């Protein structure tokens, strides 16, 4: 546990990995100063509400559905794209809520997910070595030296695109977009062609029948038109995150008000590193990605650094172990946290540990392997007397062909048809819907 004083900028005295090198440091600091003067994107009250809900999920009273793009793109900040992102999470949450009979906490992996860590500083594109694309918040995807140069003006764009996205989501929800009286408004073009469409339609009809029955008895159903939605992103670019950190006068605590929840990636969770230093001081609920390299000792030290008071709902451990490593790694992590007296909320990211590259260079993930990691993770928690409280997916509402398998039986030969991601492969709308049903089946039979 760190005892030295914390401030929003104390991370600057530690090694900060995955940070861009800006050719003009003055322009970078000026951009951060501008963002620091802008209004927050979320409220302290919303952040506190999410923390309470995550704590409830840790007690088995709710289930967390966190999902969205690998990395958002500025060009996708369009009304239809934003609505579609919301639709797929609403559809999945309806299936989960109906199937497991508990509230679903919807956390979007968007509204700020514009930066990505990379495994290498450089990549070869069309035979030339270029700085790696690090997300639209940092540089451009175009394969030119000029586009790949880190540009601090993109941080300003990230703020405004995040604000626009969150504003439109709030307008949709306030306008009744999520009203359970009209669930077919959420339909996406490819969904009604999915093999899972009849099953989804049956669930919706059962829900509508229950609503009509309750209203015929005089029950009030105003709440059916209202749902909570929360935004999250990886807190990678520490200067940007610092600029969105505000001190709450009522609690005397600091909050990152650029998102309701942020997480530390597997590449930046070093105990003595800048990311852990920054995250230990903010009061938001935070996630930590845990891969198979994390030892029980490291896990306990992370929990001590990030949540020494064991505050409920404060830390979500998001395991991404790889399907073939779950049984070997997860039980010792669960036991170490328990023996140290910590009560983290556990979630499963069954995608990042299962990425492969095809012969023609496409990164992809096999749907059946994704399902298998979730299945094994759920079983290990049950056998260890623990609880899996949520799931974390990279997904899109678009009819892309990036992950193989699923009801559509996509193969590597299909990837070229609509492979649109700038970084990692995502589940498409049909695969996401199928995944929700499979999760329900697993939870119902437990």
**Which residues 6+ apart lie within 8 Å of 222 measured at CB?**
none
For residue 196, tell me if it sits in a domain. yes
- Taking only the tens place, the pLDDT of each residue in 317-366 is 999 999 999 999 999 999 999 999 999 999 999 999 999 999 888 999 99
Indicate if the pLDDT at residue 199 is higher than 80. Answer: no
pLDDT tens by residue, 205-234: 766 665 555 444 444 444 444 678 999 999
Count how many domains the chain has. Answer: 1
Kindly give the pairing relationship between strand 363-365 and strand 245-248.
unpaired
Mean pLDDT, residues 433-437: 87
Provide the CA 284 distance to its chain's centre, in angstroms: 15
- Domain presence at residue 295: yes
Question: What is the pLDDT at residue 282?
Answer: 98
Torsion sign across C-alpha atoms 387, 342, 352, 144: positive
Question: Could you say which DSSP state residue 39 is in?
Answer: P
4: in domain: no
Residue 238 predicted with pLDDT over 70: yes
**Residue 5 lies inside a defined structural domain of this protein:** no
Q: Is residue 2 part of a domain?
A: no
Instruction: Output the domain CATH number for residue 89.
Output: 3.20.20.70
Question: Residue ranges of the alpha helices (H) in 236-325?
Answer: 238-243, 274-279, 296-306
- 3 inside domain: no
Give how far Cα 218 sits from Cα of 156, 205, 208, 221, 303, Å. 50, 20, 15, 9, 49
> Which pTM was predicted?
0.92
Per the structure, the complete domain to which residue 430 belongs is given by 10-444
**Residue % of the chain over a pLDDT of 90:** 73
Which two three-digit tokens encode residue 436? Answer: 């929700």
Encode pLDDT of 389-404 as tens digits.
Answer: 999 999 998 889 999 9
User: Does residue 437 register a pLDDT over 70?
Assistant: yes
Q: Give the model confidence (pLDDT) of 109-129 as tens digits.
A: 999 999 999 989 999 988 899
d(CA 383, CA 254): 38
The pLDDT of residue 196 is above 80? no
């Amino acid at each position: 546990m760190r005892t030295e004083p914390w401030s929003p900028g104390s991370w600057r005295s530690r090694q900060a990995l995955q940070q861009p090198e800006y050719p003009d440091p003055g322009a970078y600091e000026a951009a951060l100063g501008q963002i620091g003067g802008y209004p927050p994107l979320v409220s302290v009250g919303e952040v506190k509400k999410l923390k309470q809900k995550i704590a409830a999920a840790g007690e088995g009273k709710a289930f967390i559905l966190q999902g969205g793009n690998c990395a958002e793109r500025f060009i996708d900040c369009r009304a239809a794209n934003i609505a579609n992102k919301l639709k797929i999470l609403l559809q999945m949450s309806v299936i989960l809520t109906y199937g497991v009979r508990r509230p679903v906490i919807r956390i979007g992996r968007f509204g700020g997910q514009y930066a990505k860590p990379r495994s290498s500083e450089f990549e070869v594109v069309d035979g030339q070595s270029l700085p790696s694309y690090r997300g639209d918040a940092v540089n451009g995807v175009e394969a030119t030296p000029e586009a790949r140069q880190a540009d601090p003006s993109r941080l300003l764009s990230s703020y405004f695109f995040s604000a626009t996205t969150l504003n439109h989501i709030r307008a949709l929800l306030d306008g009744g977009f999520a009203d359970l009286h009209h669930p077919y408004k959420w339909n996406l073009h490819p969904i009604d062609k999915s093999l899972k469409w009849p099953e989804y339609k049956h669930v919706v009809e059962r829900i509508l029948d229950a609503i009509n029955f309750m209203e015929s008895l005089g029950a009030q159903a105003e709440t059916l038109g209202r749902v909570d939605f929360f935004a999250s992103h990886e807190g990678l670019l520490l200067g940007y995150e610092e600029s969105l950190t505000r001190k709450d006068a009522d609690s005397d605590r600091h909050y990152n008000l650029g998102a309701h929840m942020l997480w530390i990636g597997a590449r930046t969770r070093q105990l003595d590193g800048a990311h852990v230093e920054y995250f230990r001081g903010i009061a938001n609920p935070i996630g930590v990605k845990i891969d198979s390299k994390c030892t029980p000792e490291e896990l306990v030290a992370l929990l001590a650094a990030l949540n020494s008071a064991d505050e409920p709902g404060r830390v979500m451990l998001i395991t991404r172990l790889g399907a073939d490593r779950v049984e070997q790694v997860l039980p010792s992590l669960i036991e170490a946290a328990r023996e140290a007296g910590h009560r983290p909320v556990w979630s499963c990211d069954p995608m990042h540990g299962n990425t492969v590259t095809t012969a023609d260079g496409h990164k992809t993930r096999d749907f059946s392997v994704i399902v298998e990691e979730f299945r094994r993770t759920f079983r290990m928690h049950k056998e260890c007397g623990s609880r899996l409280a949520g799931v974390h997916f990279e997904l899109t509402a678009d009819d892309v062909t990036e992950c193989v398998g699923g009801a559509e039986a996509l193969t590597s030969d299909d990837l070229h048809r609509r492979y649109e991601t700038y970084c990692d492969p995502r589940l498409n709308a049909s695969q996401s819907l199928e995944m929700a049903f499979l999760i329900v089946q697993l939870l119902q039979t437990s």
